[in-house]
Amino acid sequence: MSETATKVVERTMQDEQFLNLFQRNPDAALEEYDLAEHEEKALKSGKESRIRDVIDDALAAAVLVVVVNN
């Protein structure tokens, strides 16, 4: 679990502008975050199972909504 990856996911759920940037240009959206390579790949994958592996368990259920709806 990564606190930084969790913050990224939280931000995608709370900040529509950031979510739009992440969808259009994930590299630009993530450049301000200090993520490990595997965390960045997981977030960019859009795959629920990979994202769940790198975020806080409390947010894992909410990720499904973001991934499925976008």
Encode pLDDT of 6-64 as tens digits. 999 999 989 999 999 999 999 999 999 999 999 999 999 989 889 888 987 666 666 55
Q: Rounded CA gap, 29 and 37, in Å?
A: 15
Domain span at 24:
3-69
CB hemisphere CA count around 10 (13 angstroms)? 11
The model's pTM: 0.78
Q: Within 10 Å of residue 51's Cβ, how many Cβ atoms? A: 23
Total domains in the chain come to 1
